[in-house]
Amino acid sequence: MATETPPNKGERVKGSPPIVENAQLPPMATQTLPSKLMHGAVRHMTVGAAPAHGSNLMALVPQDHMPKPRAGRKQTSPAQEFVGWVRPSLTMATQRSFIAWMAGILILLSACSSLPTTSPSPSTSPSPSASPSPSPTVRASSDPCAVQGQTPPSGNIAATFATTLAFTPDGRLFWTERSGTVKVWQDGAARTFATVKTVTTEQDGSYSERGLLGLAISPTFNKDRFVYAFYSDVNDTEQHVIRWRECRGTGMDPTILVTLPSGSDCCHKGGRLAFGADGMLYVTLGDEHSAPAAQDTGDVRGKILRYRPDGSVPSDNPFGATNPVWAYGFRNPFGIAVSSSGQMAVTSNGPSGDADSPSTGYDTLVLDVARGQGYQWPDCYGYSHPLATASCPAGQSPPDYSTESSTLVPTGAAFIDSSGPSPFAGHLVLCSLNGGMRIVTPGSPHASLQPGPSGCLLDVKEGPDHAVYFSDTGTIYRVS
Protein backbone atom coordinates (compact mmCIF):
# COMPACT_ATOMS: atom_id res chain seq x y z
CA MET A 1 0.00 0.00 0.00
CA ALA A 2 1.10 3.57 -0.31
CA THR A 3 1.16 3.99 3.50
CA GLU A 4 3.24 1.59 5.58
CA THR A 5 2.44 3.08 8.98
CA PRO A 6 -1.32 3.03 9.53
CA PRO A 7 -3.15 5.59 11.57
CA ASN A 8 -4.52 4.89 14.95
CA LYS A 9 -8.07 6.07 15.35
CA GLY A 10 -8.23 9.78 14.65
CA GLU A 11 -4.72 10.03 13.16
CA ARG A 12 -4.05 11.18 9.63
CA VAL A 13 -2.87 9.12 6.66
CA LYS A 14 0.00 10.78 4.86
CA GLY A 15 -1.34 14.26 5.45
CA SER A 16 -4.96 13.31 4.74
CA PRO A 17 -8.08 13.97 6.81
CA PRO A 18 -8.80 11.33 9.49
CA ILE A 19 -10.31 8.14 8.16
CA VAL A 20 -12.24 5.36 9.83
CA GLU A 21 -10.24 3.02 12.10
CA ASN A 22 -8.87 -0.06 10.28
CA ALA A 23 -9.60 1.51 6.91
CA GLN A 24 -6.03 0.65 5.95
CA LEU A 25 -5.00 -2.70 4.95
CA PRO A 26 0.63 -1.98 11.88
CA PRO A 27 6.49 -0.31 12.39
CA MET A 28 7.76 -2.26 9.44
CA ALA A 29 10.17 -5.23 9.42
CA THR A 30 13.64 -4.69 7.95
CA GLN A 31 14.45 -8.14 6.57
CA THR A 32 15.77 -8.26 3.02
CA LEU A 33 14.02 -10.37 0.42
CA PRO A 34 15.96 -12.72 -1.84
CA SER A 35 16.49 -11.32 -5.29
CA LYS A 36 14.57 -14.12 -7.00
CA LEU A 37 11.54 -16.12 -6.01
CA MET A 38 9.95 -18.49 -8.47
CA HIS A 39 6.21 -18.83 -8.65
CA GLY A 40 4.81 -21.89 -6.90
CA ALA A 41 3.76 -25.13 -8.48
CA VAL A 42 0.16 -26.03 -9.01
CA ARG A 43 -1.15 -27.84 -5.96
CA HIS A 44 -4.33 -29.87 -5.73
CA MET A 45 -6.44 -31.32 -2.95
CA THR A 46 -9.05 -34.02 -3.24
CA VAL A 47 -12.43 -34.19 -1.56
CA GLY A 48 -12.03 -35.54 1.96
CA ALA A 49 -8.25 -35.25 1.88
CA ALA A 50 -6.19 -32.99 4.13
CA PRO A 51 -5.53 -29.58 2.56
CA ALA A 52 -2.22 -29.13 0.82
CA HIS A 53 -1.02 -26.93 3.68
CA GLY A 54 -2.56 -28.78 6.63
CA SER A 55 -4.84 -26.51 8.63
CA ASN A 56 -4.45 -23.54 6.30
CA LEU A 57 -7.77 -24.24 4.62
CA MET A 58 -11.13 -24.79 6.19
CA ALA A 59 -13.77 -25.17 3.50
CA LEU A 60 -17.24 -25.86 4.73
CA VAL A 61 -18.35 -29.21 3.33
CA PRO A 62 -21.83 -30.63 3.94
CA GLN A 63 -22.04 -34.03 5.57
CA ASP A 64 -24.43 -35.37 3.00
CA HIS A 65 -23.15 -36.40 -0.39
CA MET A 66 -24.42 -35.18 -3.69
CA PRO A 67 -27.48 -37.08 -4.88
CA LYS A 68 -26.56 -39.80 -7.34
CA PRO A 69 -28.58 -40.46 -10.49
CA ARG A 70 -30.42 -43.72 -10.63
CA ALA A 71 -28.88 -46.37 -12.85
CA GLY A 72 -30.14 -46.19 -16.40
CA ARG A 73 -31.93 -48.91 -18.23
CA LYS A 74 -32.78 -49.68 -21.85
CA GLN A 75 -35.66 -47.58 -23.04
CA THR A 76 -38.69 -49.12 -24.72
CA SER A 77 -41.56 -47.59 -26.65
CA PRO A 78 -45.09 -47.52 -25.20
CA ALA A 79 -46.14 -50.04 -27.87
CA GLN A 80 -43.38 -52.45 -26.89
CA GLU A 81 -44.24 -52.14 -23.19
CA PHE A 82 -47.92 -52.83 -23.86
CA VAL A 83 -47.18 -55.86 -26.10
CA GLY A 84 -44.73 -57.18 -23.52
CA TRP A 85 -47.49 -57.08 -20.92
CA VAL A 86 -50.00 -59.07 -23.08
CA ARG A 87 -47.37 -61.16 -24.92
CA PRO A 88 -48.22 -64.52 -23.26
CA SER A 89 -51.66 -64.48 -24.92
CA LEU A 90 -50.58 -63.47 -28.46
CA THR A 91 -48.99 -65.32 -31.36
CA MET A 92 -45.87 -63.86 -32.96
CA ALA A 93 -47.75 -62.69 -36.04
CA THR A 94 -50.40 -61.05 -33.89
CA GLN A 95 -47.73 -59.29 -31.84
CA ARG A 96 -46.16 -57.84 -35.00
CA SER A 97 -49.51 -56.64 -36.31
CA PHE A 98 -50.38 -55.11 -32.97
CA ILE A 99 -47.06 -53.25 -32.77
CA ALA A 100 -47.59 -51.81 -36.24
CA TRP A 101 -51.13 -50.71 -35.33
CA MET A 102 -49.97 -49.09 -32.06
CA ALA A 103 -47.13 -47.30 -33.85
CA GLY A 104 -49.59 -45.77 -36.30
CA ILE A 105 -51.83 -44.56 -33.48
CA LEU A 106 -48.84 -42.99 -31.65
CA ILE A 107 -47.68 -41.16 -34.80
CA LEU A 108 -51.15 -39.70 -35.27
CA LEU A 109 -51.37 -38.62 -31.61
CA SER A 110 -47.91 -37.12 -31.73
CA ALA A 111 -48.79 -35.05 -34.78
CA CYS A 112 -51.93 -33.76 -33.12
CA SER A 113 -50.24 -32.94 -29.81
CA SER A 114 -47.39 -31.03 -31.50
CA LEU A 115 -49.63 -28.45 -33.16
CA PRO A 116 -50.00 -26.00 -30.20
CA THR A 117 -46.22 -25.83 -29.57
CA THR A 118 -45.59 -23.90 -32.78
CA SER A 119 -46.77 -20.73 -31.10
CA PRO A 120 -46.39 -21.04 -27.34
CA SER A 121 -48.03 -18.62 -24.99
CA PRO A 122 -45.83 -16.43 -22.76
CA SER A 123 -46.54 -18.72 -19.83
CA THR A 124 -44.97 -21.77 -21.51
CA SER A 125 -41.34 -22.57 -22.19
CA PRO A 126 -39.75 -20.20 -24.74
CA SER A 127 -39.16 -21.48 -28.22
CA PRO A 128 -35.60 -22.40 -29.25
CA SER A 129 -35.50 -19.56 -31.79
CA ALA A 130 -36.48 -16.99 -29.19
CA SER A 131 -34.09 -18.21 -26.51
CA PRO A 132 -31.27 -20.46 -27.71
CA SER A 133 -29.70 -20.57 -24.25
CA PRO A 134 -31.59 -21.97 -21.25
CA SER A 135 -32.87 -19.42 -18.79
CA PRO A 136 -31.34 -19.32 -15.28
CA THR A 137 -34.50 -20.92 -13.92
CA VAL A 138 -34.20 -23.86 -16.32
CA ARG A 139 -30.52 -24.30 -15.44
CA ALA A 140 -31.30 -24.19 -11.74
CA SER A 141 -33.90 -26.94 -12.04
CA SER A 142 -31.47 -29.26 -13.83
CA ASP A 143 -28.37 -28.55 -11.71
CA PRO A 144 -28.47 -30.06 -8.19
CA CYS A 145 -26.01 -27.42 -6.95
CA ALA A 146 -27.90 -24.39 -8.28
CA VAL A 147 -30.28 -22.21 -6.28
CA GLN A 148 -33.32 -20.53 -7.79
CA GLY A 149 -34.88 -17.10 -7.47
CA GLN A 150 -31.76 -15.23 -6.40
CA THR A 151 -31.38 -11.45 -6.53
CA PRO A 152 -28.64 -9.06 -5.38
CA PRO A 153 -29.13 -7.14 -2.12
CA SER A 154 -31.78 -4.45 -2.52
CA GLY A 155 -30.01 -2.09 -0.12
CA ASN A 156 -26.94 -1.69 2.09
CA ILE A 157 -25.78 -4.77 4.02
CA ALA A 158 -23.35 -5.29 6.90
CA ALA A 159 -19.95 -6.74 6.03
CA THR A 160 -16.71 -6.74 7.99
CA PHE A 161 -13.79 -5.34 5.96
CA ALA A 162 -15.11 -6.60 2.62
CA THR A 163 -11.89 -6.45 0.60
CA THR A 164 -13.43 -7.67 -2.68
CA LEU A 165 -16.85 -8.19 -4.25
CA ALA A 166 -18.03 -10.44 -7.10
CA PHE A 167 -21.36 -11.51 -8.63
CA THR A 168 -22.39 -14.88 -10.01
CA PRO A 169 -24.64 -15.07 -13.12
CA ASP A 170 -27.61 -16.13 -10.97
CA GLY A 171 -27.57 -12.76 -9.17
CA ARG A 172 -25.81 -13.65 -5.92
CA LEU A 173 -23.22 -11.33 -4.38
CA PHE A 174 -20.04 -12.94 -3.01
CA TRP A 175 -17.49 -11.05 -0.94
CA THR A 176 -14.28 -11.70 1.01
CA GLU A 177 -13.77 -10.51 4.56
CA ARG A 178 -10.10 -9.79 5.15
CA SER A 179 -9.90 -11.99 8.28
CA GLY A 180 -10.55 -15.12 6.21
CA THR A 181 -14.25 -15.62 5.44
CA VAL A 182 -15.88 -15.74 2.01
CA LYS A 183 -19.58 -14.90 2.22
CA VAL A 184 -22.52 -15.00 -0.16
CA TRP A 185 -25.84 -13.16 -0.21
CA GLN A 186 -28.34 -15.97 -0.77
CA ASP A 187 -32.09 -16.17 -0.14
CA GLY A 188 -32.07 -12.63 1.21
CA ALA A 189 -29.38 -13.14 3.86
CA ALA A 190 -25.62 -13.45 4.26
CA ARG A 191 -24.16 -16.91 4.75
CA THR A 192 -20.62 -18.28 5.01
CA PHE A 193 -19.45 -19.87 1.79
CA ALA A 194 -15.94 -20.91 2.89
CA THR A 195 -13.10 -19.90 5.18
CA VAL A 196 -9.31 -19.86 5.00
CA LYS A 197 -6.75 -19.44 7.74
CA THR A 198 -4.91 -16.19 7.17
CA VAL A 199 -3.21 -13.36 9.06
CA THR A 200 -3.92 -9.63 9.13
CA THR A 201 -0.95 -8.48 11.26
CA GLU A 202 2.75 -9.25 11.36
CA GLN A 203 4.03 -11.77 13.93
CA ASP A 204 4.68 -9.01 16.48
CA GLY A 205 1.14 -7.68 16.04
CA SER A 206 2.23 -4.73 13.93
CA TYR A 207 0.68 -3.37 10.73
CA SER A 208 0.35 -5.71 7.80
CA GLU A 209 -1.29 -5.80 4.39
CA ARG A 210 -1.84 -9.57 4.48
CA GLY A 211 -5.21 -11.28 4.59
CA LEU A 212 -7.95 -12.58 2.31
CA LEU A 213 -7.50 -10.08 -0.50
CA GLY A 214 -8.92 -11.23 -3.84
CA LEU A 215 -12.01 -12.88 -5.34
CA ALA A 216 -13.15 -13.90 -8.82
CA ILE A 217 -16.01 -15.93 -10.30
CA SER A 218 -15.35 -18.32 -13.16
CA PRO A 219 -16.53 -16.94 -16.53
CA THR A 220 -18.04 -20.41 -17.12
CA PHE A 221 -19.66 -20.56 -13.67
CA ASN A 222 -22.91 -22.03 -14.97
CA LYS A 223 -20.95 -25.10 -16.09
CA ASP A 224 -18.14 -25.50 -13.55
CA ARG A 225 -19.42 -23.46 -10.53
CA PHE A 226 -15.85 -22.35 -9.66
CA VAL A 227 -15.09 -19.55 -7.18
CA TYR A 228 -11.50 -18.27 -6.79
CA ALA A 229 -9.79 -16.33 -3.98
CA PHE A 230 -6.34 -15.01 -3.03
CA TYR A 231 -5.07 -15.10 0.56
CA SER A 232 -1.92 -14.83 2.67
CA ASP A 233 -0.78 -18.01 4.42
CA VAL A 234 -0.31 -18.13 8.20
CA ASN A 235 3.28 -19.24 7.56
CA ASP A 236 4.10 -15.60 6.59
CA THR A 237 6.07 -16.73 3.53
CA GLU A 238 3.44 -17.74 0.99
CA GLN A 239 0.26 -16.52 -0.63
CA HIS A 240 -2.19 -18.71 -2.52
CA VAL A 241 -4.80 -18.69 -5.22
CA ILE A 242 -7.47 -21.15 -4.10
CA ARG A 243 -10.52 -22.48 -5.91
CA TRP A 244 -13.77 -23.99 -4.68
CA ARG A 245 -16.67 -25.66 -6.44
CA GLU A 246 -19.86 -23.91 -5.33
CA CYS A 247 -22.86 -26.04 -4.38
CA ARG A 248 -26.02 -24.41 -2.97
CA GLY A 249 -23.98 -21.63 -1.38
CA THR A 250 -21.24 -23.82 0.10
CA GLY A 251 -17.62 -24.10 -1.05
CA MET A 252 -16.64 -27.66 -1.95
CA ASP A 253 -13.39 -29.32 -3.07
CA PRO A 254 -10.91 -26.60 -1.99
CA THR A 255 -7.90 -26.67 -4.30
CA ILE A 256 -4.75 -24.54 -4.12
CA LEU A 257 -3.92 -23.66 -7.72
CA VAL A 258 -1.01 -21.24 -7.38
CA THR A 259 1.47 -20.50 -4.58
CA LEU A 260 3.37 -17.20 -4.62
CA PRO A 261 5.84 -15.52 -2.25
CA SER A 262 4.42 -13.16 0.36
CA GLY A 263 7.59 -11.32 1.34
CA SER A 264 9.23 -11.10 4.75
CA ASP A 265 7.74 -7.79 5.84
CA CYS A 266 4.38 -6.08 6.07
CA CYS A 267 3.58 -4.70 2.73
CA HIS A 268 3.02 -4.63 -1.03
CA LYS A 269 1.17 -7.95 -1.30
CA GLY A 270 -1.10 -7.16 -4.26
CA GLY A 271 -3.63 -10.00 -4.25
CA ARG A 272 -6.38 -9.03 -6.68
CA LEU A 273 -7.95 -11.45 -9.17
CA ALA A 274 -9.83 -10.96 -12.42
CA PHE A 275 -10.73 -13.03 -15.45
CA GLY A 276 -9.87 -11.53 -18.81
CA ALA A 277 -11.91 -11.58 -21.98
CA ASP A 278 -9.63 -14.47 -23.04
CA GLY A 279 -10.92 -16.62 -20.17
CA MET A 280 -7.55 -16.50 -18.38
CA LEU A 281 -7.06 -15.68 -14.69
CA TYR A 282 -5.05 -12.53 -13.96
CA VAL A 283 -3.37 -12.06 -10.56
CA THR A 284 -1.74 -8.92 -9.18
CA LEU A 285 1.38 -9.24 -6.99
CA GLY A 286 3.24 -6.36 -5.34
CA ASP A 287 7.01 -5.95 -5.23
CA GLU A 288 7.03 -6.92 -1.51
CA HIS A 289 9.54 -4.17 -0.75
CA SER A 290 12.05 -5.51 -3.25
CA ALA A 291 11.73 -2.69 -5.77
CA PRO A 292 14.26 -3.99 -8.37
CA ALA A 293 12.24 -7.21 -8.69
CA ALA A 294 9.46 -5.26 -10.39
CA GLN A 295 11.65 -4.82 -13.53
CA ASP A 296 12.87 -8.44 -13.60
CA THR A 297 10.63 -10.49 -15.87
CA GLY A 298 12.03 -13.70 -14.33
CA ASP A 299 10.59 -12.69 -10.93
CA VAL A 300 6.88 -12.75 -10.11
CA ARG A 301 6.99 -9.74 -7.76
CA GLY A 302 5.72 -6.36 -8.98
CA LYS A 303 3.74 -7.97 -11.79
CA ILE A 304 0.44 -8.78 -13.39
CA LEU A 305 0.42 -12.58 -13.75
CA ARG A 306 -1.61 -14.68 -16.17
CA TYR A 307 -2.76 -18.25 -15.58
CA ARG A 308 -5.19 -20.73 -17.02
CA PRO A 309 -8.28 -21.34 -14.85
CA ASP A 310 -6.64 -24.52 -13.52
CA GLY A 311 -3.55 -22.60 -12.33
CA SER A 312 -1.20 -23.70 -15.09
CA VAL A 313 0.73 -21.19 -17.23
CA PRO A 314 -0.56 -20.53 -20.77
CA SER A 315 1.94 -21.39 -23.47
CA ASP A 316 1.36 -18.05 -25.22
CA ASN A 317 2.46 -15.87 -22.28
CA PRO A 318 4.89 -13.17 -23.46
CA PHE A 319 8.00 -14.29 -21.54
CA GLY A 320 7.86 -18.02 -22.13
CA ALA A 321 5.58 -21.01 -21.82
CA THR A 322 6.43 -21.53 -18.12
CA ASN A 323 6.53 -17.86 -17.06
CA PRO A 324 3.29 -16.41 -15.64
CA VAL A 325 4.37 -12.77 -16.07
CA TRP A 326 2.02 -10.78 -18.31
CA ALA A 327 3.13 -7.21 -17.52
CA TYR A 328 5.79 -5.79 -15.18
CA GLY A 329 7.00 -2.64 -13.41
CA PHE A 330 4.36 -2.24 -10.67
CA ARG A 331 4.94 -1.30 -7.03
CA ASN A 332 1.74 -2.58 -5.40
CA PRO A 333 -1.12 -3.18 -7.85
CA PHE A 334 -4.14 -3.35 -5.57
CA GLY A 335 -6.97 -2.96 -8.03
CA ILE A 336 -7.77 -4.64 -11.35
CA ALA A 337 -10.78 -4.30 -13.62
CA VAL A 338 -11.60 -5.84 -17.01
CA SER A 339 -14.21 -4.33 -19.35
CA SER A 340 -16.56 -6.29 -21.59
CA SER A 341 -14.25 -5.51 -24.53
CA GLY A 342 -11.19 -6.88 -22.70
CA GLN A 343 -9.60 -3.59 -21.59
CA MET A 344 -7.67 -4.15 -18.35
CA ALA A 345 -7.14 -1.30 -15.88
CA VAL A 346 -4.84 -1.52 -12.84
CA THR A 347 -4.47 0.80 -9.84
CA SER A 348 -1.15 0.91 -7.98
CA ASN A 349 -0.14 2.46 -4.67
CA GLY A 350 2.61 5.06 -4.93
CA PRO A 351 5.92 5.30 -3.06
CA SER A 352 6.31 6.06 0.62
CA GLY A 353 10.05 6.52 1.01
CA ASP A 354 11.09 3.10 -0.32
CA ALA A 355 13.90 2.92 -2.89
CA ASP A 356 14.77 6.57 -2.00
CA SER A 357 11.41 7.70 -3.32
CA PRO A 358 9.23 10.52 -1.95
CA SER A 359 7.48 9.74 1.32
CA THR A 360 3.97 10.24 0.00
CA GLY A 361 1.79 10.55 -3.09
CA TYR A 362 2.25 9.41 -6.70
CA ASP A 363 -0.46 6.76 -6.72
CA THR A 364 -1.06 5.66 -10.31
CA LEU A 365 -3.60 4.25 -12.72
CA VAL A 366 -2.94 2.37 -15.96
CA LEU A 367 -6.06 2.28 -18.12
CA ASP A 368 -5.13 -0.49 -20.55
CA VAL A 369 -2.44 -2.92 -19.45
CA ALA A 370 -0.76 -4.44 -22.52
CA ARG A 371 0.68 -7.89 -23.10
CA GLY A 372 4.39 -8.01 -22.25
CA GLN A 373 4.52 -4.28 -21.50
CA GLY A 374 6.92 -2.80 -18.96
CA TYR A 375 5.82 0.03 -16.67
CA GLN A 376 8.11 2.39 -14.83
CA TRP A 377 8.51 1.38 -11.16
CA PRO A 378 11.15 1.68 -9.69
CA ASP A 379 13.09 3.38 -12.49
CA CYS A 380 10.60 6.23 -12.35
CA TYR A 381 7.51 7.17 -10.35
CA GLY A 382 4.42 9.28 -10.96
CA TYR A 383 4.47 11.08 -14.28
CA SER A 384 7.91 9.74 -15.29
CA HIS A 385 10.00 11.27 -12.49
CA PRO A 386 13.43 9.49 -12.59
CA LEU A 387 14.37 7.53 -9.50
CA ALA A 388 16.59 4.47 -9.99
CA THR A 389 17.95 5.75 -13.30
CA ALA A 390 18.98 9.14 -14.69
CA SER A 391 16.02 9.04 -17.04
CA CYS A 392 13.09 6.77 -17.66
CA PRO A 393 14.19 3.88 -19.91
CA ALA A 394 12.85 3.79 -23.43
CA GLY A 395 9.97 1.41 -23.98
CA GLN A 396 8.52 1.71 -20.50
CA SER A 397 4.99 3.06 -20.39
CA PRO A 398 4.06 5.88 -18.00
CA PRO A 399 0.78 5.78 -16.09
CA ASP A 400 -2.38 7.32 -17.51
CA TYR A 401 -2.95 9.10 -14.21
CA SER A 402 -0.83 9.98 -11.17
CA THR A 403 -1.91 11.73 -7.98
CA GLU A 404 1.55 13.34 -7.95
CA SER A 405 2.22 14.91 -4.52
CA SER A 406 -1.23 14.10 -3.13
CA THR A 407 -2.17 10.73 -1.66
CA LEU A 408 -5.18 8.65 -2.66
CA VAL A 409 -4.27 4.99 -1.89
CA PRO A 410 -6.37 3.42 -4.69
CA THR A 411 -7.87 -0.03 -4.19
CA GLY A 412 -10.57 -1.90 -6.18
CA ALA A 413 -11.90 -0.78 -9.54
CA ALA A 414 -14.69 -1.62 -11.99
CA PHE A 415 -15.91 -0.65 -15.45
CA ILE A 416 -19.57 0.46 -15.27
CA ASP A 417 -21.59 -0.11 -18.44
CA SER A 418 -23.97 2.35 -20.08
CA SER A 419 -26.92 0.92 -18.12
CA GLY A 420 -25.34 1.80 -14.77
CA PRO A 421 -26.46 4.73 -12.64
CA SER A 422 -25.40 8.27 -13.42
CA PRO A 423 -22.71 9.61 -13.07
CA PHE A 424 -20.88 6.25 -13.14
CA ALA A 425 -22.38 4.91 -16.39
CA GLY A 426 -19.77 4.42 -19.10
CA HIS A 427 -16.83 5.09 -16.77
CA LEU A 428 -14.10 3.25 -14.95
CA VAL A 429 -14.55 3.87 -11.23
CA LEU A 430 -12.14 3.09 -8.40
CA CYS A 431 -12.20 3.07 -4.62
CA SER A 432 -9.50 4.58 -2.42
CA LEU A 433 -8.64 4.46 1.26
CA ASN A 434 -7.91 8.17 1.40
CA GLY A 435 -10.64 9.70 -0.72
CA GLY A 436 -13.49 7.35 -1.47
CA MET A 437 -14.64 6.75 -5.02
CA ARG A 438 -13.09 8.38 -8.07
CA ILE A 439 -14.79 8.47 -11.49
CA VAL A 440 -12.25 8.25 -14.31
CA THR A 441 -12.43 10.07 -17.63
CA PRO A 442 -9.70 9.26 -20.16
CA GLY A 443 -7.83 12.24 -21.62
CA SER A 444 -4.63 13.48 -23.19
CA PRO A 445 -1.98 13.63 -21.96
CA HIS A 446 -3.54 12.33 -18.74
CA ALA A 447 -6.85 10.99 -17.47
CA SER A 448 -8.89 13.02 -15.00
CA LEU A 449 -10.67 11.91 -11.83
CA GLN A 450 -13.83 13.23 -10.23
CA PRO A 451 -15.01 12.41 -6.68
CA GLY A 452 -17.80 9.94 -5.99
CA PRO A 453 -19.30 8.42 -2.82
CA SER A 454 -16.96 8.65 0.16
CA GLY A 455 -17.80 5.11 1.35
CA CYS A 456 -15.98 3.45 -1.54
CA LEU A 457 -12.84 2.44 0.36
CA LEU A 458 -12.11 -1.19 -0.56
CA ASP A 459 -13.83 -2.49 -3.70
CA VAL A 460 -16.54 -1.69 -6.22
CA LYS A 461 -18.55 -3.77 -8.72
CA GLU A 462 -21.59 -3.38 -10.96
CA GLY A 463 -24.34 -5.84 -10.14
CA PRO A 464 -26.51 -7.76 -12.61
CA ASP A 465 -29.25 -5.26 -11.72
CA HIS A 466 -26.85 -2.49 -12.97
CA ALA A 467 -26.68 -0.97 -9.50
CA VAL A 468 -23.19 -0.11 -8.23
CA TYR A 469 -22.02 -1.87 -5.06
CA PHE A 470 -19.00 -0.75 -3.03
CA SER A 471 -17.53 -1.48 0.40
CA ASP A 472 -15.88 0.13 3.38
CA THR A 473 -14.78 -1.52 6.64
CA GLY A 474 -18.30 -2.25 7.89
CA THR A 475 -20.81 -2.03 5.03
CA ILE A 476 -21.47 -2.95 1.43
CA TYR A 477 -23.43 -0.08 -0.15
CA ARG A 478 -25.81 -0.13 -3.09
CA VAL A 479 -26.35 2.87 -5.40
CA SER A 480 -28.85 2.76 -8.27
> Domain ranges in the chain?
408-480
Tell me: the pLDDT tens digits for 187-246? 999 999 999 999 999 999 999 999 999 999 999 999 999 999 999 999 999 999 999 999
Residue 321 pLDDT greater than 90, yes or no:
yes
Q: With residue 104 as reference, give the H or E element that holds it.
A: helix 92-114
- CB 270 within 8 Å of CB 286: yes
Confidence of residue 42 (pLDDT cuts 50, 70, 90): very low
Q: What percent of the chain has pLDDT over 90?
A: 69
Per-residue model confidence (pLDDT) at position 142? 85
Strands 162-167 and 173-177 turn out to be antiparallel
Tell me: the pLDDT tens digits for 349-372? 999 999 899 999 999 999 999 999
- CB 459 within 8 Å of CB 45: no
Tell me: the pLDDT tens digits for 161-187? 999 999 999 999 999 999 999 999 999
243 Cβ contact partners less than 8 Å away, ≥ 6 residues apart? 226, 227, 228, 229, 254, 255, 257, 311
| pTM greater than the 0.85 cutoff | no
